Structure 1
């Protein structure tokens, strides 16, 4: 009896200590100042009520980089986009990291995975509760004991106390479930990094696309001015009989084609700007890109011999690795679920027919039970659950292999694209230098009557096409470089890289 009483006192101390913790259910239910409007921080400012303030604060550091106070925001190991030496691009990337909604969704999924992991951990701990109640029954001595209405009495019993239940993890099933949840938490962080890497790559590529389209529009407008001056020259020669009406109509067709090209480029530019605005988590009216051309933006040089070990930097590979580890734990848990389960239940408290005597020593109640349960027949549910987890595991193994192959392909494609676009740009620059003043000179020669219109029209077409192709080739080269950065998980080298370069396997090379 004394041993049981001391156990009751110990249990009471545990309950009192846990009751002081703000994370216990009762304390959490009555928790004050619980901000139920967390959703407001994701709403654009123009839709917010002035009484709400965003929890996310952004403050510029000494080197003008945006520092997030939210620790779940991605911390990029290699600021590879700064290799392009564009302050405007750096600002856009930092804005996207803090404002993009896809990234914020990925961050909230980390919170969900963290809570799931905490739930899985809690199953390893006992559940302690408080019970209290009143029971009224009649007849007092039990059913059928009253021989007459005069001796029919009600029995009132008042009781309160503490109850603890605990499942003995004899086969480590609960540990496997906890480990699975922890691996999924790690996977959710890698998923956030996948979203961040894709986001940054899209911002950089779209920014270059906007600049390229702006430059191509400038080129087309300059050629339109020249085409209009050629039209005026044809009209002058037409008056003197040196040109024909057919030449004038052909030039008008040329002007229409250039105007149509400008309209197409304008539409593409607007689409790219809209896409950039979405990436930045705002409307297109709120972004202001000052630069109009790709001039001055030089792609970083790619060194020969890129080790395949750098693929371990890719967050999508690490993501599938953690998912595979979680699946392995699920298989173990499903196998352990086939075995019997054991649970302990312990109750301590007071019970009495009279409230004034409920605290008396003889009103002490206690019970301790051990329960075992083994499934004999369930229609194959547990066995099929095990087979299901094994099938999921095989699927993840295939996905992992496929991810590795795709990663190698991405690097090879990016390296090949860099090499080809470099050659194309060099050749187009040579052609552009030869045709730089050709159109102006040809126009002057035509005005003097020393060149026929067909030759001039060919020159117009070739000059415009070469200028447009050269501008587009610079964008293609920059895009290929961005794709290589993305294929390698962000950047080529990093002092803080966790990857260990154990060998010098070369997956590709580029000049």
Structure 2
């Protein structure tokens, strides 16, 4: 083939590849909406409690020790850390893809070529040295370096590395979000455990009160002032309250073991000081401004990195439509006998080749990959916007919850005080025959329920502070 025909053929091939590359489907990326409301409850205070480190936010020494131990021993968190290591290794793998691959190797073998082929006929008439023809069975030994390189013309391989970097950063933020949730879960379980201790103490005191009241009812029955019905009703109330005691004790065991699991240890008693739970004063929390959530919340940053990865994935998928240029080369020694390997330059062998390859006909697979990458990019946009919206609503709900729980606790406390006074009054009235035994019984039942609800409300207050801290993005730093 003449040089002109070869040039013409190469030109036609390149033209065909260029035409194929130009017919890439046009897909528009969706742009994310990063706007958030200007404030929470019209407050412009930029002080944000979510930026406070957890070591400064939780001052209880027992709770501090639990969180610190969990951050080192929690199995799920340690599994996530290994996923981060895997993502980091993926970056190194992608980085090596756009660098030349060079390998060293050697080998040996034999080859028998038929004499009735062009190569066999040529070998029969060729002398390696005067008087000696090429053997029928020809050994072959080689030693050399071999290289291949895909020239990253369209930055497909570099963008693939950037995808790995974005996924790595997203995995770090995922770990941070897990830390935030872990800190929050331990704190809420800890306050729940303290509340259960106080409820158990309330039940035990109420059992003593009911037992004393039962003694009085029996005395009144002996004096024929009440019937056996009153005695049985009070006995039933004692049994009912005692059953509540065992239920609370089981809840304490379950809550302790939930904390032990999060801390990464086998069941044991959780150290705590529950005596001052009723006197805990919920700390003031500052919500800052909503735009700070974009920087504080790890799940929002994770969604942002995932979105960036999908945008780069679209570029990688689009580059598959363009021709790729590969270069291969080799340099070494080759001879039919190992003794001749060092006879240079006769034993030298070298090659250099380049290839331009691109899709032309039947591009369904790469078209589908490109469209899937576009769909995932749109999904990532919606997920990012949903994550921001969810974060804002979480904070708004918790701020409202804190305000309503504070008012609720005040009313519950007034109810407990009123019912406590009514308990003493009902006993006095009963002894003077001015009140029925059912009034005493119902008053005792009401004050028990009110005290239990008061402790429950205090626990909800403390958990609301923890949940607001988590919603603001605190706990991971």
TM-score bracket, normalised by the shorter chain, equals 0.7 to 0.9
- Indicate the residue corresponding to 1:375 in structure 2: 359
- Shift of residue 326 of structure 1? 0.4
TM-score (norm 2): 0.82
Task: Kindly state the Cα deviation for residue 444 of structure 1 after the two structures are TM-superposed.
Answer: 5.0
The answer to whether structure 1 residue 457 and structure 2 residue 441 are counterparts is yes
Question: Which residue pairs with 1:400 in the alignment?
Answer: 384
- 3-state SS in 2 of match to 1:213: helix
1:310-329 map, 5 Å: 310-312=292-294, 313-329=296-312
The answer (yes or no) to whether the contact 1:83–1:300 under 8 Å persists in 2 is no
When you count helix as a share of all residues, which structure comes out higher? 2
Q: Which residue of 1 aligns with 2:225?
A: 242
Matched residue SS, 1:361:
coil
Distance 1:93 1:151, change over 3 A: closer
Unaligned runs of 5+ in 1: 1-75, 498-511
Give the Cα separation in 2 of the matches to 1:112 and 1:296: 48
If you compute each CA radius of gyration, which structure gives the higher value, 1 or 2?
Answer: 2
In the TM superposition, residue 397 of structure 1 has moved relative to its aligned partner by: 0.7
The one-character-per-residue Cα deviations of 1:388-415 (angstroms, maximum 9, x if unpaired) are 0000111111111111111111011101
> What's the counterpart of residue 6 of structure 1?
none
Match of 2:167 among 184, 192, 217: 184
Relative to structure 1, the CA distance from residue 171 to residue 398 in structure 2 (aligned partners, 3 Å threshold; closer, same or farther) is same
Question: Does the Cα contact within 8 Å between 1:179 and 1:329 map onto a contact in 2?
Answer: yes
Q: 2:375 aligns with which of 366, 370, 391?
A: 391
Residues 11-160 of structure 1 mapped to structure 2, 5 A cutoff: 78-80=52-54, 82-139=56-113, 142-143=119-120, 153-160=136-143
1:204 to 177, 187, 199: 187
Q: In structure 2, what is the Cα distance between the partners aligned to 1:151 and 1:364?
A: 19
Check the 8 A contact 1:132/1:160 in 2, yes or no.
yes
Per-residue deviation, residues 149-187 of structure 1 (Å, max 9, x unmatched): x99632112110001111000111001101111000000
Counterpart CA distance in 1 for 2:258 and 2:338 is 72
Change in Cα spacing, 1:216 to 1:459, as seen in structure 2 (3 Å) is: same
Taking the aligned partners of 1:350 and 1:82, their CA distance within structure 2 comes to 69
Deviations 1:192-221 (A, max 9, x none): 001100000000000000110111111011
- For structure 1, which segment, 324-333 or 252-261, has the greater mean C-alpha deviation from structure 2 after superposition? 252-261
* Counterpart check, 1:443 vs 2:417: no
Give the secondary-structure state (helix, strand or coil) at the position aligned to 2:277: coil
1:190 Cα deviation (Å)? 0.2
Q: Which residue of 1 aligns with 2:338?
A: 355
* CA drift at 1:276: 1.1
Question: What RMSD in Å do the two structures reach over aligned CA positions?
Answer: 2.4
Structure 2 unaligned runs (5+)?
Answer: 1-49, 125-132
* Structure 2 counterpart of 1:345: 328
User: Which of the pair has the greater relative contact order for Cα pairs under 8 Å at 6+ separation?
Assistant: 2
CA 1:286–1:351: 2 relative to 1, 3 Å: farther
Question: 1:36 maps to what in 2?
Answer: none
